[in-house]
A and B are shown apart, each in its own frame.
Chain A
Amino acid sequence: MTQVELDVRNLSVARGGVPVLEGLSFTLKAGEVLVLRGPNGSGKTTLLRTLAGLQPPLAGEISQPPEAIAYGAHADGLKATLSVAENLAFWAAVHGLRDIGPALDHFNLRSLASRAAQNLSAGQKRRLGLARLLVTGRPIWLLDEPTVSLDAASVGLFADAVRAHVADGGAALIATHIDLGLEARVFDVTPFKPDPETGLRTRSAFDEALT
């Protein structure tokens, strides 16, 4: 795996035209886990979506190696009528990989492989969604509340997966509220909430000119 680094400089992100975080700077190096914290609605999801390239930043710079990001959203992107193995094999094929065996084993999905995704429990679906990360072969994981609906044993499986991933030279940025038992730096986004007075200034010059 190539040396990876996600570098964020003075980043501002907006949701629905409203700035939610301003002036963020941090670096995520290979072998690191960074845990994002902040109250609900503080902009963690927006930050992750921006880093994943799904929406443009309002200001600032993001530097990262090309095609390095694997994004794990709230929604798992599963197809109800496809089996566990079919779902996983699809994402593997999209990312140019073939072997879904390790991912199935890692998240203890082997026995469910031929079951349709619609017949999985919420926790099993989540495990399948997380197993998808392994078949992307991408070094930087951006995870949004990955442990939702997982039981304690599954959280353990997930923590093991992250540990193995970073030991292998990967990196992970995880928005979560629970303690994963990982050796991780914590990054609290709360101080980066924009000031309502100056905040709108960084918005488009259009609205600035108006108010």
Chain B
Amino acid sequence: MIALLARDIRLALRAGGGFGLGLAFFLIVVTLVPFGVGPESDILTRIAPGILWIGALLACLLSLDRIFQLDFEDGSLDLLATAPIPMEGIVAVKALAHWITTGLPLVIAAPLLGVLMNLAQPGHGWIFVTLLIGTPALSMIGAFGAALTVGLKRGGLLLSLLVLPLYMPTLIFGAEAATRAIDGFDNTTPLMMLAGITLASVALLPFAAAAALRINLR
């Protein structure tokens, strides 16, 4: 399992796609927003947490189809399925690798991009914290969607259609937790819900995703 994690991270690094593309996409989304809504700093301040969350979510979505598609195409997934690792473990490890190569860089970059969005003062820390708690759920839910669509020739768009509705609760609680904290309100409830979604996703979705993968391999 550690070997699989190491391999996936190494592959992402060598291909140069994982880290770089997601981050660049995130930067572009955040750059585009002021062009759309205008440069007034108070408007930007108000929408900053939401935009940062949506940007991170979209950047995460961008690389989801890589989780299983490449391994499916070159036959690795067949061979992994016959290896002494349970399919649930494969899913969990590959979701973790996706989070480390895509989610974690976004979490670290978000407070910096917050400067561009004129994020209010305590917001930088809170964006970091909420994304840190929430992005593992995004990777895991995404891995489930990727497992559903792995056998399809052009599954990319379908994957987005399937995954984005599943992302809604995470987005709502994540952005809400950040916004509340910035506005000086108590954000325990959304923060707990966000953590709950992440924990439940990580605990349960590998089983659903593994079932989907087995169906797609046969």
A151 to B78, CA, bound (A): 26
* Interface pair B82/A82, CB less than 8 Å apart: no
Which one of B4, B71, B84, B218 lies within 8 Å of A54 (CB-CB)?
Answer: B218
Among the 9-residue stretches A23-31, A87-95, A168-176, the one with 4 or more Cβ atoms under 8 Å from chain B is: A87-95
Task: Say how far B111's CB is from chain A's closest CB, in angstroms.
Answer: 32
Among the 9-residue stretches A66-74, A152-160, A199-207, the one with 4 or more Cβ atoms under 8 Å from chain B is: A66-74
Interface residues of B in 22-80 (CB under 8 A from A): 71, 73-76, 78-80
B7's nearest neighbour on chain A, judged by CB, is A90
B204, CB-defined interface residue at 8 Å: no
Instruction: With A54-B217, A79-B7, A81-B11 as known contacts, state yes or no: A67 contacts B78, CB within 8 Å.
Output: no
Which one of A71, A82, A89 lies within 8 Å of B78 (CB-CB)?
Answer: A71
* Interface pair A94/B84, CB less than 8 Å apart: yes
* Interface pair A90/B3, CB less than 8 Å apart: yes
B90's nearest neighbour on chain A, judged by CB, is A94
A89 to B6, CA, bound (A): 11
A22 to B3, CA, bound (A): 39
For A195, the chain B residues whose CB sits under 8 A away are none
**0/1 per residue, B72-96, Cβ < 8 Å to A?**
0111101111111100000000000
A56, CB-defined interface residue at 8 Å: yes
B14, CB-defined interface residue at 8 Å: yes
A89's nearest neighbour on chain B, judged by CB, is B3
* Interface pair B78/A73, CB less than 8 Å apart: yes
A53 to B87, CA, bound (A): 12
A91 to B82, CA, bound (A): 11
A174 to B15, CA, bound (A): 35
A101 to B14, CA, bound (A): 25
A102, CB-defined interface residue at 8 Å: no
For A93, the chain B residues whose CB sits under 8 A away are 2-3
Instruction: With A82-B11, A90-B3 as known contacts, state yes or no: A73 contacts B218, CB within 8 Å.
Output: no
A55's nearest neighbour on chain B, judged by CB, is B218
8 nearest A-B pairs in the assembled complex, by CB-CB distance = A75-B75, A93-B3, A55-B218, A77-B76, A81-B14, A77-B75, A77-B79, A94-B83
What are 14 residue pairs bridging A and B, where the CB atoms are less than 8 Å apart in the complex? A53-B81, A54-B81, A73-B79, A74-B75, A75-B74, A77-B78, A79-B74, A90-B4, A90-B7, A91-B83, A94-B4, A94-B80, A95-B83, A136-B83
Chain B positions within 8 Å of A, measured between CB atoms, are 2-4, 7, 10-11, 14-15, 71, 73-76, 78-85, 217-218
